[in-house]
Amino acid sequence: MKQKIFSHLHLRIILLMIIFLTGCSNLFTSSLAQKTIASIKMGSGPGEIQIETEETKDLSESDDKGKEKNKETKNKSRWNDNALKTLTFKIAVNQDKIIVVDKNFKRLQVFDGGGSLELLIGAINTKESKEKKSYKEVNFNFSVIGSFIMDNDNNIYVQNRLITRSSVGESDFLPSYILVFNKNGELQYIMGKTGTPDIPFFYIEKLFIDSDGRLFVLSRSFNTWELFRFNNKKREKYDDFSKLNLVETEGKNTYKGTIENVEIFENGKGVIISVAYYHDVRFKYRKLYEYSLEKNEIVREITNIDDPKNVLFNIVDDKILYFWNIEGKETKFMLVNMNGSIINNIKIEFDRNNIFSKIIHDESGAIYSYHVNDDRLKIFTWR
């Protein structure tokens, strides 16, 4: 009799566990709704975006045969998902503005929230510039545009990479400076590592503006991660994260840590460092640390994740960490609080028939995506 009662009890526990486990993913997964905020026409003119891959941008168009070959190759590459991983343009959303940089035309365009062109900085055709336009244009000769960001006053910070004869084809690690334009596109000053245009940056991982309007420059080269903080032109902070001792020992095993990502707190007082630990070449786990820029040290470990797919995406409101949580064709984010506890999952579902799609976020942590279809680029906000 006791065994029968135990069997029933055991069965009920199993059923409750199944219900709990199968219901958890639904209970803690919120589907975000999409809203189109802009639709920008493809093309080469002002207010348009040229959808082209790195593989086709240098094809000759000097004669009719060359033009036909170029057109054919572009059409072919546009439908090649692998080729579209390296586009010649980049997009950011900031302060309800859409910022687009174009490597081919060496220009930066700022659109309003609805996709209407407000500002163009770059090479201007003087023959066309005499016409009255609904947007402002500033003639400027960029070299190779890298990272860029806009602050709350609509000042624009642009990494300008300098091409040398020996650096053709290696644009990522060119010496570069940060150009600072005001909201009218007028150049204010140029910055290097010291805040003045003397020592250049090289590869810049990201630019970031904190809540006090200070510029952060995260620079990376091989295993070196450097962080610079500027107040206007004055450099007031420098940290070299590559000097951290990221080695752990368990028994006879030694795990070496590799920094994968650094996310900066909005208040500018610290960063989150994501470190992957390896035993030889085998991934062991990923740890996230809080690093104080005031104390110049790691102050605590936030969480330990053993799934290599859960990669840090962003930090929102200095309180919630977003991790990629890919399951098949679904795009999910796992939300973790600063105590390391999972508090929710969010899901994004968009049309997989687009030629190309990319997910980004703005300075507040809001999620956006942009999608290439036949003749337009559409930008969605997800709430």
Q: Where exactly are the structural domains of the chain? A: 28-51+87-382
Contact indicator for 145, 101 with CB cutoff of 8 Å: yes
Dist. CA 137–CA 81, nearest whole Å: 34
Asked if 283 contacts 276 with a C-beta cutoff of 8 angstroms, the reply is yes
Provide the token pair at 27: 């209970």
Sign of the CA dihedral running 230, 232, 235, 237: negative
What CATH number should be reported for the domain whose range is 28-51+87-382? Answer: 2.120.10.30
Q: Beta strands 342-348 and 29-31: pairing type?
A: parallel
The pLDDT score that the predictor gives to residue 63 is 43
Distance separating alpha carbons of residues 138 and 121, to the nearest angstrom? 5
Q: Of 237, 370, 345, which Cα lies nearest the Cα of 292?
A: 237
Dist CA 222 CA 294 (whole Å): 26
Which residues does the chain have with pLDDT short of 50?
Answer: 1-9, 11-27, 54-85
CB 335 within 8 A of CB 321: yes
Determine how many CB atoms are found less than 10 A away from the CB of residue 195.
19
